[in-house]
Each structure stands twice: as C-alpha cells, then as structure tokens.
C-alpha cells in the first residue's frame, strides 16, 4: 500500500475519517496499484452456492499491533461466493467479527450484515485491507454492536479488493454481497453461528443503500434467512435526486465513483461522453479511496463531458436513464421492519428521498419508521444512525412489535 497517496493531507483525513458518503455514477482504465494480495484472487472454480466460503485468514488490525482485541472478539478476513447483477458468480471479500463472550440475550447470537459507507473504488480501499493497513472509519460504529454481543459480517462489495471494478451504487450487486457474507458467517464453524441465527442489516449512505437493498432482496434471494430488521440511514434511494446536491461540492469525486461503478456493471463505455480532460480524470480515479476526497472537491461534471452537459442532464439520456432507474430502492417490500434515519440538513442525500422511500415501502405493506433529525450535514447524520440503531435492534431480536410511521405518511 502506498502510504503517501493515502495521507493526502490532515484536512482530508479529518473530513473523511467519519465519512460514509454515497452518490452518483464508465469504466476507468486498469488499476495502476501494486499487485493485488494473493488472498483476494479468486480460484478458477468457485464454490457451488452463494455464501460458500472460499478461504479465510486471521485479520490483523493496524491500530492493535499486539492483538489486544483478541480478548474481546475474533476477526477473520474472508473470500466468499456471491452473484452479481448480471447473474455471474463472483468472489467477494469481507470481514467477520465475533465477540468472545458468551451471548446472554434471548435466543442465539444475532449477526449484523454490516453494509459499509463509501470507501472508494481502488482495491486498496477494501475495508478488509484497510483494517490492517490504515484506519477504517467504520470501526467507530462497529464497536457498540460488538459490545452488545452481536457478530458482524461486513462485505467489501463486488470488485472492491477483488478483480474488476467496484460496482459502486449497483443496487442488486450490493444487496446480494451483504446477504451472502451473512451466509458465509453462518457457515463458518468457528463463528458459532448457524442458518437459524437471527439477522439484521445496517448501513449508512452507500451502506444505507446496501442494507436497504439487502432488506428488499432477502425475501427472494435468501428466503430462509431469519431477518428480524434493518436500519437503513441516509439512503440514496433515488439517484436522480443527487446530482444537484453533490455536483460541484466537496463530494464531487463520488459522482465519478458511481459513474465508474454503474457503467462498469452495465457494460457502458464512457469514452464517447468525456472530453480529453474527462478521460484523463477518469483514468486517474480508478485507484482513489475516500481519503482522496479533496483532490476533486468543488469540480463540476460539465467540465469533463464531451458536450458540456452536467451529470443531472446526462443521466436523463439513454443509456444512462435506464441504468439509473434500475437503482431505485423502494419498489420491493422488505421482509422485516425497517428503521430509516435521515437529517433534514443532509447536504448529500436530500431528506425528501427518505420521505419518498418510506412512503414507497409503506404503500407496499412494509413496517417502516422514519426518524428525522437536525444533525448538521451528511456526516452529522451518522451520529443519529449510530445511536438509534441499538434500541431498534434490541427490540427486534427480543421479538417486540415494531413502531411504524406509515399512518402519518
């Protein structure tokens, strides 16, 4: 790992250490990173079933060089099978954490399908690598879940760490990756988990999309999974609402992350849509992580397109319009109660997106509670997500009835 590239500036670290951003959306040139670690290389033949384990190894934590965490929990890096949007079996990496203390709650130990927020699109950005090589900001929010005795199954998502482009903001790919690492955790003998272990999904921003997608897909993709609830916060449920909020902002880089991820998933060549400056920029971002945020801050997408059209205009045209419409979350009823949290002051994902998502799920007969807040900006909303998640999950695992906002939507 190149420590210089990841230490852009003190300001970048401060801004992004607690960041889980999301957003909007060709296929950059091949990565110029150092060779991918052997662990992340897929075998010639993948296992037969989704969630089957390919390999695992002890996960070392950079911030715990003496392995003090092993007293509290076991940490494993894993490679497992999933299926991407097109139906192709793929190898996906991730991390699994299991507390050492005996579970003392009702029933058996629950496992959280933890969907991470934006990490970047370069292979070195994969959380299962960042835990060992840098600092993973999700550690702040994982700690409380582990302290409550929950196991955590955290996917890196398709193409983040493993071969191919990370399919950033691809609804189906992300949801399946979240579900399948839960299956992998349940099948690892060392975890003590089984197929009957209670499950919840949780995530913020890109992670909110991953968790929400998993909640929608679980009923058909994993019908036997014992899903008890989902916490999906600052969910980018409708990507059409995002360009005006993000383009030209601090988060401009994430528009290009999503362009790279989605067009890669859909096999769209971006070259005809970019000018020379855009082609150069697009090639450079292939290795970027969230720490590279400031490198593209406050740039406008219209400066990089062949005809000067901004992203908000471009995604209304074919072939992008169908691609963006496919990412809409809210069209399938989740098979368990959902808590949606969102700040009215979110500067990345407009609050109206959460309102519409809640209405959409309510109209399909789901049990959904929308918890709005006034935390400042997108980053601030993470604090409400992190504090509200505990009571919601405890109630779900205890079998208590879930509150709903549907009566007032």
Cα–Cα distances in Å, from 83 out to 62, 74, 80, 129, 173? 31, 27, 10, 22, 7
**What's residue 114's pLDDT?**
98
Rg of the chain's alpha carbons, rounded to an integer?
A: 20
Q: Is the distance from CB of 278 to CB of 47 less than 8 angstroms?
A: no
Distance of CA 200 to the CA centre of its chain: 15
This prediction has a pTM of 0.91
**What's residue 75's pLDDT?**
95
Cα–Cα distances in Å, from 22 out to 170, 297, 348? 12, 14, 8
In-domain check, residue 248:
no
pLDDT at 103 over 60: yes
Q: What is the mean pLDDT of residues 279-290?
A: 90
Q: 37 in helix, strand or coil?
A: coil
In-domain check, residue 334:
yes
Higher pLDDT, 352 or 19: 352
In-domain check, residue 380:
yes
**What's residue 19's pLDDT?**
34
Task: Quickly tell me which residue has 């097109």 as its tokens.
Answer: 86
pLDDT at 377 over 90: yes
Task: Quickly tell me which residue has 């076991």 as its tokens.
Answer: 74
List, for residues 355-375, the tens digit of each pLDDT value: 999 999 999 999 999 999 999
**Helix/strand/coil percent split, the chain, to 5:** 40, 15, 45
Cα separation of 185 and 394, whole Å? 20
In degrees rounded to 5, what are phi and psi of residue 372? -90, 155
Instruction: Supply the DSSP symbol for 120.
Output: B
Strand partners of residue 28? none
pLDDT at 2 over 70: no
What domain count does the chain have? 1
Residues of the chain with pLDDT > 90, as a percent, come to 79
In-domain check, residue 292:
no
Which of 25, 279, 27, 33 has the alpha carbon at shortest distance from 165?
Answer: 27
List, for residues 109-129, the tens digit of each pLDDT value: 999 999 999 999 999 999 999
**What's residue 58's pLDDT?**
95
In-domain check, residue 63:
yes
Q: What is the mean pLDDT of residues 35-49?
A: 96
Cα separation of 318 and 49, whole Å? 35
pLDDT at 404 over 60: yes
pLDDT at 396 over 60: yes
pLDDT at 4 over 70: no
Q: Which of 45-54, 63-72, 338-347 has the lowest mean pLDDT?
A: 63-72
Res. 6 pLDDT band, cuts 50 70 90: very low
**What's residue 224's pLDDT?**
96
Q: 38 in helix, strand or coil?
A: helix
pLDDT at 345 over 80: yes
How many CA atoms are closer than 13 Å to the CA of 332, on its beta-carbon side?
A: 20
- Burial class of 138 by CB neighbour count within 10 A (0 to 12, 13 to 18, 19+): buried
List, for residues 250-267, the tens digit of each pLDDT value: 998 888 899 899 999 999
List, for residues 169-226, the tens digit of each pLDDT value: 999 999 999 999 999 999 999 999 999 999 999 999 999 999 999 999 999 999 999 9
Residues of the chain with pLDDT > 70, as a percent, come to 90
**What's residue 66's pLDDT?**
63
In-domain check, residue 118:
yes
In-domain check, residue 294:
no
Q: Which domain holds residue 78?
A: 5-239+325-408
Mean pLDDT, the chain, integer: 90
In-domain check, residue 44:
yes
| Bond preceding residue 319 cis, omega within 30 of 0 | yes
Higher pLDDT, 270 or 70: 270
List, for residues 299-328, the tens digit of each pLDDT value: 999 999 999 999 889 999 999 999 999 999
Q: Is the distance from CB of 58 to CB of 290 less than 8 angstroms?
A: no
DSSP letters along 166-194, please?
A: --TT-HHHHHHHHHHHHHHHHH-GGG---
Q: What is the mean pLDDT of residues 123-142?
A: 92
Q: How many CB atoms lie within 10 A of CB 334?
A: 28
Res. 86 pLDDT band, cuts 50 70 90: very high
**Strands 89-99 vs 151-155: parallel, antiparallel or unpaired:** antiparallel
Res. 33 pLDDT band, cuts 50 70 90: low
pLDDT at 84 over 60: yes
> H-helix or E-strand containing 284?
helix 276-284
Give the CATH number of the domain where residue 67 resides: 3.40.50.1820
Cα separation of 91 and 123, whole Å? 14
Res. 24 pLDDT band, cuts 50 70 90: very low
């Amino acid at each position: 790992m190149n420590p210089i590239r990841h230490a852009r500036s003190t300001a970048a670290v401060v801004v992004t250490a607690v960041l889980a951003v999301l957003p909007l959306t060709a296929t950059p040139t091949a990565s110029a990173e150092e060779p991918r670690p052997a662990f992340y290389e897929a075998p010639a033949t993948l296992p037969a079933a989704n969630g089957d384990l390919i390999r695992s190894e002890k996960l070392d934590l950079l911030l715990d060089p003496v392995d003090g965490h092993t007293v509290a929990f076991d940490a494993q890096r894993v490679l497992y099978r999933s299926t991407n949007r097109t139906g192709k079996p793929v190898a996906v990496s991730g991390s699994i954490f299991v507390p050492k203390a005996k579970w003392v709650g009702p029933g058996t130990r629950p496992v959280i399908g933890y969907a991470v927020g934006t990490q970047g699109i370069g292979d070195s950005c994969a959380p299962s690598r960042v835990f060992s090589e840098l600092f993973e900001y999700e550690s702040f929010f994982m700690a409380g879940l582990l302290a409550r005795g929950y196991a955590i199954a955290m996917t890196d998502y398709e193409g983040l760490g493993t071969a191919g482009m990370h399919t950033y903001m691809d609804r189906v790919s992300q949801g399946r990756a979240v579900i399948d690492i839960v299956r992998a955790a349940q099948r690892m003998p060392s975890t003590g988990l089984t197929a009957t272990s209670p499950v919840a999904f949780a995530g913020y921003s890109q992670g909110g999309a991953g968790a929400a997608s998993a909640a929608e897909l679980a009923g058909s993709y994993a019908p036997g999974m014992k899903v008890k609830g989902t916490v999906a916060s600052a969910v980018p449920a409708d990507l059409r609402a995002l360009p005006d909020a993000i383009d030209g902002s601090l988060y401009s880089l994430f528009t290009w992350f999503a362009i790279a991820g989605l067009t890669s998933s859909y096999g769209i060549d971006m070259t005809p849509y970019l000018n020379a400056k855009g082609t150069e920029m697009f090639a450079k971002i292939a290795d970027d992580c969230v720490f590279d945020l400031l490198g593209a801050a406050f740039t406008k997408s219209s400066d990089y397109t062949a005809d000067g059209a901004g992203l908000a205009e471009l995604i209304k045209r074919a072939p992008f319009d169908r691609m963006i419409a496919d990412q809409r979350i809210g069209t399938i009823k989740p098979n368990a109660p959902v808590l949606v949290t969102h700040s009215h002051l979110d500067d990345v994902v407009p609050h109206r997106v959460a309102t519409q998502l809640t209405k959409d799920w309510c109209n399909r007969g789901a049990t959904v509670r929308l918890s709005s807040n006034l935390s400042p900006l997108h980053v601030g909303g993470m604090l409400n997500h992190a504090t509200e998640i505990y009571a919601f999950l405890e109630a779900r695992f205890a079998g208590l009835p879930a509150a709903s906002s549907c009566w007032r939507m």
